[in-house]
Amino acid sequence: MLINVDYALFHWINELANSLAFLNETMRFLAQYAPYLFGVALLIYWFTFKMPHRMMVLEAVITVCIGFVISWGLGHLFYRDRPFVGHSVIQLIHHDPNASFPSNHALGAFALAAILWLHHQKFRVLWVILAVLIAVSRVWTGVHYPSDILAGALIGAGCAVGVHQFIRSRKLPGIFMQAAILFYEKWEQKLGLKPGEQARTKMIEHTSSVQMKSRR
């Protein structure tokens, strides 16, 4: 029953590629290239040279890595063909006929949107909207079922919340993350990319902030 509903919903969304063909190029972009916008955002935050932003970026990387490991395991345990393998679909982008469940694109987009939301960054609503559009575009272009998208989104958002709460509720993860960033910044300073005094100031400010939050 659920499989039938899943395919019916997939068919309805995928058929929009015919009835709303003027949106197809936008959907191709969203399905293939829009996820890189999250990567660009993280790079921008990283190179603000602010410790809170770098902590957030490192948290995002950890979240996505955990999510992809979970996705890899589920993909092997519950292997599912792509829609275009077993059905006649409107396929707008090329894709290898590998595991369809869950969607890594949805997982990554929702994980990163959730991290930006949890850190109260500007434009966080727009990042969530972008994640939703990426998810829809993967069905629209014929490479995922809706349930693949839903599973990926839940895993991504769930990992983001779990990692965020784990880091905020314990001192050691934050200490190790700061130490890793400081180790990186030593090399950054040697290359002349960041003044040493700025690094120390940001570290002191953020350490105080983390300690205050952990005591609450």
pLDDT recorded at residue 194:
64
**Strand blocks (E) in the chain:** none
Total number of residues shown for the chain: 216
* Residue 204 CB-half CA count within 13 A: 6
Residue 215 has pLDDT above 50, yes or no: no
Which distant-in-sequence residues (6+ apart) come within 8 Å of 40 by Cβ?
none
Q: Tell me the C-alpha distance between 192 and 175, whole Å.
A: 25
Number of helices and strands (H, E) in the chain? 11, 0
pLDDT recorded at residue 115:
97
Q: Which range among 14-23, 81-90, 154-163 shows the weakest confidence by mean pLDDT?
A: 81-90
pLDDT recorded at residue 195:
56
Q: Tell me the C-alpha distance between 136 and 146, whole Å.
A: 8
Q: 22-77: per-residue pLDDT in tens?
A: 999 999 999 999 999 999 999 999 999 899 999 999 999 999 999 999 999 999 99
pLDDT recorded at residue 214:
44
Q: 99-158: per-residue pLDDT in tens?
A: 999 999 999 999 999 999 999 998 999 999 999 999 999 999 999 999 999 999 999 999
pLDDT recorded at residue 82:
94
pLDDT recorded at residue 190:
75
Range of 122-131, 182-191, 195-204 with top mean pLDDT: 122-131
* Residue 209 CB-half CA count within 13 A: 10
pLDDT recorded at residue 211:
43
pLDDT recorded at residue 4:
83
Q: Which two tokens stand for residue 215?
A: 């005591």
Higher pLDDT, 213 or 87: 87
Burial 127-156 (b: 16+ CB within 10 A, else e): bbebbbbbbbbbbbbbbbbbbbbebbbebb
Single pTM value for the model: 0.86
Region 168-197: mean pLDDT is 82
pLDDT recorded at residue 53:
95
